[in-house]
Amino acid sequence: MPNPFNKPTTPKNSLQLLQWFIFEPILLERYEKTLSKIRTLWIVLKAIVVNFFIVIIPLTLVLYAISVIIIAYFDLPLIFPPDAPENRDTNELFVQQWQTYSTWWEKAHFFARFDDYRSLKDLADGLAVGLAVGLAFALAFGLAFGLAFGLAGGLAFGLAGGLAFGLAGGLAVGLARGLAFGLAGGLAGSLAGGLAFGLALGLALGLAFGLALGLAFGLAFGLAFPIFFYLNYFRLWLYPSHFLKSLINVSLTNNPYIGDGVIWLQIWGMTRKLTTQAQQDPKTGLALVNFLQEYRPLQKQLAMHIAHAATAGNWQHHPLQKQGLLPPPLIQETPDLTPSKSWLNQIDKLKRQFVAYEEEHQITLKKDQFETFCTQLKDFRNLTLGEPSRWHHYYLPAVDHWQTAAKEKLALLIQDAQSQEPITPNIYRFGDILNPENDHNIFFGRADIKEELKQHILTARTMPLFLCYGQRRVGKSSLLKFLPRLLGSRFRVIYQDCQSSNVNSLPNWLKDLQQRLNKTWKTADIDWQPTDNWLEAWSKMQRHLETLSHQHDEKIILAFDEYEALHERIFMTEPKQGKMLLEAMRSFSQQQNQIVFLFVGAAQFADLKEPNWDRCFIHAMPLKVDYLCHEDATRLITEPVDLHYPSAVIEHMWTVTQGHPALLQMLCRYLVNIANTEGRKDMTLADLEHVITQKIVQRGTNALNTFWTEFCSQQQCQSTIEEILDNQPLTDKKSRLKLEDYGYIISDDGKNWKLRVPLLEMWLRRYREGF
């Protein structure tokens, strides 16, 4: 079955072209743009000639036959007797013969053959001939307008005007010929009664005949032309068929709007039927909305109604599923049907909260996330009630359905949380980036970095450039997420994950960055086209940043997380242009004090070559993200949960991790699991040893094995690690300095080196030979 929403781009024949003239102005306009003026003239003339024989002549004969049948069926000659006084005998004969026929088809046949009955016959002839002349004139008139002003608009006006002129003219001529003689005789007789017989008779006959004929034609044409023009231009003669179709068989894929693009007036009952079906079949409903937006500009109100209904139906069919939390497609020029920004923002807030609930795996936190979602859903319903009543009624049943499902789901989550975590909620997490909204109870430390960053930014005359570096899994990305809360309202942090698939070329990197800026400040989009000139592309971004810096008082921090991906994916591909771009960024940084570049990653600038980042950013200020101090590590162990840790357990946890954030989170999480499983709050050294051997020092522990498989392999440090593990003197000074600089090894006397984290040493002794 063909898709009714797909429209062709080229008419297959002249008959379809005529159909486009009348019903498809958008298709006609698009088709016209593909043609030259000469080609347009030839195609339209061909359509006129072909359709004159196929459509106009048959339609004229049909209209004439209908007129004769109406006259015969209603016995109009008896109501309007013949009016030619000079043929009185013939008229009487016509009436007598008319009355001898008993059936309407006999009378119709007689009327068509009898040539002397002028009044009604002229009317029938006038309408039929008027239609023929009108269509011909309409096409010619429309062609002239079309060539001058565009086929779609010109032909619409030309067809309406031409048909109105032809039909009104035909009707006027038919009426005038009958009315003229009667009106002339009446006026002449009246004048003759008051004036001298001779003068009156001559003057009356002359003036009355001319006046009567003019008035009769003028009145008939003057009244008929606007009526016929209105009927044709607004296609009112099609409304009865549209209305009947809506009563008999109407659907989202079979309705008058599919085939007629010029329906000006609303079809009674159609909106209600289509919106009801759109709620039942949202996918097809939204397809119809797209169709109406593209091909039916007169139906914007209808399209917005269907968009609301289909969106609400999608909610109804997908309770507690994120694919249901979609806003309606917005259509311009429908202000009374357009939701407020606060309503749309609340949908986005609902979706983000629901995603946070789905992505949470810890049962108590999952329950808390869902409770927040339920509260937001209630607020959303109240907000919906405050929106215009013309459309908010579509959503109320769907929101009520969601609230019912959410209430049932929350009850199950509460039950699961009580059964799975009877002692204390396990809120620890490792391997995930901590979120300020949900993970503030397990984020500790970093006050030193906050103060250093804040002081340098606020006191600098020209803005320094910062490199925030450290080992993997020590919380650099989490620090970035918490940075806005740590720094306060005088700073605005724009976070970009450089490992995202969107950051795979220079234009895409800058485009993604601008989109993130636009989430904070609504600004005009920049056309980021692929370019061979990197400095030209950067200059667009620089002008954009300069504009923002002048418009806002906050210090804007552009935080590039995992920035090494920029080097690997973009800058290394063209080192020469990469070097010039880095130098341009340095120059921009040094010329102002509002925009801050903050590069965050595991690598230092000196490790990135071709181009050499350390030479381009000689003024960069390093910020090392290290392990937690003893105090912050102790707080992370004891404060988030209601467990009893002996001091020996706490000290041993500090000793084996040295405050490594990810390793501490792992230890704490597994210990809480033991507490909930065994139903006790007192933790022991035996519990800790069990977790270390059975859960932490394992081949797949990412926080440990990446040191060997990534850092040591890339930096050529594996032989030096082997020497440390074997208590041998270190022979490679370069790799030793690298390991020391990144904080993996320490020495008390500068001669005897050891691994800083005992858990890492345990893993290396057990698994390094297997990698």
Position 33 scores a pLDDT of: 83
Residue 623 predicted with pLDDT over 60: yes
Q: Where does residue 461 rank: exposed (0-12), middle (13-18), buried (19+ CB within 10 A)?
A: exposed
In which element (H, E) is residue 705 found? Answer: helix 702-706
Task: Determine contact, residues 149/202, Cβ cutoff 8 Å.
Answer: no
Position 82 scores a pLDDT of: 58
Residue 317 predicted with pLDDT over 90: yes
* β-strand pairing of 595-601 with 555-561: parallel
CA distance 203 to 480: 104
Position 163 scores a pLDDT of: 46
712-738 per-residue burial string, b: 16 or more CB within 10 A, e: under 16: beebebbebbebbeeeeebeeeebbeb
CA distance 704 to 706: 6
| Two tokens, residue 664 | 């501490």
Residue 116: Cβ within 10 Å count:
12
Q: Which amino acid, one-letter code, is at 367?
A: K
Q: Which amino acid, one-letter code, is at 332?
A: Q
DSSP letter for each residue of 317-374 = HSTT-GGG--PPPP-TT-GGGSPPHHHHHHHHHHHHHHHHHHH--SHHHHHHHHHHHH
Residue 96: Cβ within 10 Å count:
9
pLDDT category, 604, cuts 50, 70, 90? Answer: very high
Mean pLDDT taken over the chain: 82
Selected residue with higher pLDDT from 7 and 215? 7
Position 263 scores a pLDDT of: 87
Lowest mean pLDDT: which of 195-204, 368-377, 477-486? 195-204
Residue 497 bridge partners (DSSP): 561
Q: Which of 43-57, 233-247, 316-330, 683-697 has the highest mean pLDDT?
A: 683-697
| Two tokens, residue 288 | 């119809």
pLDDT category, 227, cuts 50, 70, 90? Answer: low
Residue 303 predicted with pLDDT over 50: yes
Average pLDDT over residues 317-339: 90
CA distance 407 to 534: 54
Task: Determine contact, residues 68/110, Cβ cutoff 8 Å.
Answer: no
522-538 per-residue burial string, b: 16 or more CB within 10 A, e: under 16: eeeebebeeeeebeebb
- Output the CA–CA distances (angstroms, integers) from residue 231 to 163, 298, 464, in the order listed: 10, 17, 73
CA distance 624 to 604: 10
Q: Which of 7-21, 109-123, 219-233, 718-732 has the highest mean pLDDT?
A: 718-732
Q: Where does residue 469 fall: left (phi above 0), alpha (psi -120 to 50 degrees), or beta otherwise?
A: beta
CA distance 144 to 139: 9
Lowest mean pLDDT: which of 142-151, 387-396, 534-543, 620-629? 142-151
Residue 594 predicted with pLDDT over 80: yes
CA distance 770 to 40: 77
CA distance 490 to 494: 13
Task: Determine contact, residues 335/301, Cβ cutoff 8 Å.
Answer: no
Task: Determine contact, residues 382/301, Cβ cutoff 8 Å.
Answer: no
CA distance 159 to 169: 15
Counting Cα atoms < 13 Å in the Cβ hemisphere of 86 gives: 4
541-575 per-residue burial string, b: 16 or more CB within 10 A, e: under 16: bbebbeebbeeeebbbbbbbbbbbbbbebbbeebe
Position 539 scores a pLDDT of: 93
Tens digits of residue pLDDT in 626-679: 999 999 999 999 999 999 999 999 999 999 999 999 999 999 999 999 999 999
φ, ψ of residue 495 in degrees (nearest 5): -95, 135
Task: Determine contact, residues 309/285, Cβ cutoff 8 Å.
Answer: yes
Q: Where does residue 16 rank: exposed (0-12), middle (13-18), buried (19+ CB within 10 A)?
A: middle
Question: How big is the chain by its Cα radius of gyration, in Å?
Answer: 43
In which element (H, E) is residue 142 found? Answer: helix 119-149
Position 136 scores a pLDDT of: 52
In which element (H, E) is residue 469 found? Answer: strand 466-469
- Output the CA–CA distances (angstroms, integers) from residue 579 to 137, 159, 536, 612, in the order listed: 71, 66, 14, 7
Tens digits of residue pLDDT in 174-193: 443 433 333 333 323 333 33
* β-strand pairing of 621-624 with 555-561: unpaired
φ, ψ of residue 491 in degrees (nearest 5): -125, 145
Tens digits of residue pLDDT in 469-486: 999 999 999 999 999 988
Position 134 scores a pLDDT of: 53
Position 55 scores a pLDDT of: 61
**Maximum Cα–Cα distance for the chain, whole Å?**
148
pLDDT category, 378, cuts 50, 70, 90? Answer: very high
Residue 39 predicted with pLDDT over 90: no
